[in-house]
Amino acid sequence: MVDITHKNTTLRTATAQAIVKVSSQNTITALENKTVPKGDVFAMSKAAGLLGVKKTPELLPDCHPLPIEFTGIDFVIDGLEIKVLVTVKTIYKTGVEVEAMHGASVVALNMYDMLKPIDKGIEIHHIKLIEKTGGKSGFKDKFRRDLKAAVIVCSDSISAGEKQDKAGKAIIAKLENSDVAILDYISIPDEVAVIQEKAKYYQSQGADLIIYTGGTGLSQRDVTPEALKPLLDRTIPGIEETIRKYGQDRMPYAMLSRSVAGTIKNSLVLALPGSTNGARESMDAIFPSLLHVFGILKGARHD
């Protein structure tokens, strides 16, 4: 199965359809009047569809078991066609489009099974996804494409050439995957004055994002938060909380990180952990949805 442990939990919805076409108006009349010998076709087919949605991962090997938090099944009669519409919702890490399509298929098959004694010409058509929302793909077209970032590695050993940087490179990989251009990538020692000077410099150079990695722990040389906080016009606690919650769900020491998020004028400043996993997971926690902030800073609405 595909690894989804890095994904964020969001509200995800999907609507799928199936078309059941009968060969006689008499079949439609029997459906509407509930005179089909096998019983109430709509009620029975809804029940079958609910089971189909719930049992999707039992039948399709690569589908993840997930919490189904809503399923709605509707029917629309148009001439000799009955359109089946199945909507599924979950709050989880992966979408429900396959569950919705499977539910629509099962509804259509149950209708076929119940109607075949009175109609030998039934056909099933156009099983397809109508709409899906939620997850990264639901927001990918809502962000600016002209953003620039400076990535600053705060480490005495890396800046002295005694150690190779991996955390900064993990951050750059996520930025590039989110279509953010890299304005600069440097290593500096854990010195308050140097950290502050770089923030001021890159803000003056028009950097949209200024991302520090390292110096957010509790050792004597971890001074990145102390250096940055006096420079921030506003802090953004929600970003900090999201980073720590995401990390804590994966390892118990994330609560010790002192990640920082805030703005200097129209530049967003982040201070992330210096470990490779900590930096990567912090970026996974907040990207690409974090990029919405640049529309808000320009006066865009949240919706």
Give yes or no for a contact between 164 and 224, defined as CB atoms under 8 angstroms apart: no
Alpha helices in 88-166 (DSSP H): 97-115, 156-159
Using DSSP, state whether 264 is helix, strand or coil: strand
Task: Report the C-alpha gap between 19 and 16 in whole angstroms.
Answer: 10
Using DSSP, state whether 50 is helix, strand or coil: helix
Task: Report the C-alpha gap between 38 and 46 in whole angstroms.
Answer: 15
Identify which of 271, 277, 269, 275 has the alpha carbon closest to the alpha carbon of residue 258: 271
The b/e string for 73-103 (b: 16+ C-beta within 10 A; e otherwise) is: bebeeeebebbbbbbbbbebbbbbbbbbbbb
Q: Is 129 exposed, middle or buried (0-12, 13-18, 19+ CB in 10 A)?
A: middle
Identify which of 301, 275, 289, 283 has the alpha carbon closest to the alpha carbon of residue 165: 275
Please indicate whether residue 113 is annotated as part of the active site. yes
Query: Which of the residues 113, 156, 179, 184 is marked catalytic?
Result: 113
* Residues annotated as part of the active site: 113
